[in-house]
Amino acid sequence: MQGDRYTRMVSWLKVLFPLMALALLSTLFLISRAIDPGQSIPFAEKEIQDRLRDQQVTAPFFTGASAQGDELSFYADVLTTPDGKIGSNTATNIRATIKTPDGAFYRLQSKQADIDLVEDYVKLTEDVVVMTSTGYRMTSDYMTSGLSSLNLESPGPVYGTAPEGTLEAGSMTVAKPENGGAAQLFFTNRVKLIYKPKPLIE
């Protein structure tokens, strides 16, 4: 009796195993038809070429100090090296902070910046904003800065707010005197200040 059971089980398995194998082969066949081997990878061809041509770093962060003791920190969304040129970088959505030894600070942000380590300068372009610890908030289309020293300059018009009201000027410079001392903010070329007195506190 037990032998008959064993014989019947073997007979069923001989039928069941081929059916299972057939089901697996059918599943693999359906999957292979669903996936197109000629389908392109999910990256645009131009994006791949740009990444191969330009060295790219995502979310870079840098801190350092100048010879005069100014502390510098900056970060950006993307930092690239166009055409593989060593020492030349382009940053997207850059945010930087400069702290001077006397406790003052300058915060800068720009949609784009070109950084040249060899020439020791950075060019901020596209919606440049400068905020100071003394209460100034100025915007500009274009601004340059040294890398080894605090020397900000906007050769074009600047607009914004000052502790005394609204301010606009044809150019702006932030630099330290040659004989040392704290950095100074200079506005030149058709300076216009609209004074807004603070309300008196009763």
Domains of the chain: which residue ranges? 1-39, 55-195
Q: Along the 202 residues of the chain, how does pLDDT read in single tens digits?
A: 545 555 555 455 454 445 455 444 444 444 444 444 444 445 455 554 555 455 778 888 888 887 778 888 888 998 888 766 666 788 899 998 888 888 888 899 999 998 887 788 889 988 999 999 999 999 999 999 877 777 889 999 999 999 889 999 999 998 877 776 778 889 999 899 888 776 666 5
- What confidence score (pLDDT) does residue 84 get? 64
CATH class, 55-195 region:
mainly beta
Instruction: State which amino acid sits at residue 200.
Output: L
- The secondary structure of 136-186 as a DSSP string is -EEEEEEEEEESSS-EEEE-S-EEEEETTEEEEESEEEEE--TT--S-EEE
- What confidence score (pLDDT) does residue 31 get? 41
CA distance linking residue 33 with residue 74, whole number of Å: 50
Q: Which uninterrupted H or E stretch holds 83?
A: none
- What confidence score (pLDDT) does residue 199 get? 66
| CA dihedral (132, 113, 168, 156) positive or negative | positive
- What confidence score (pLDDT) does residue 197 get? 74
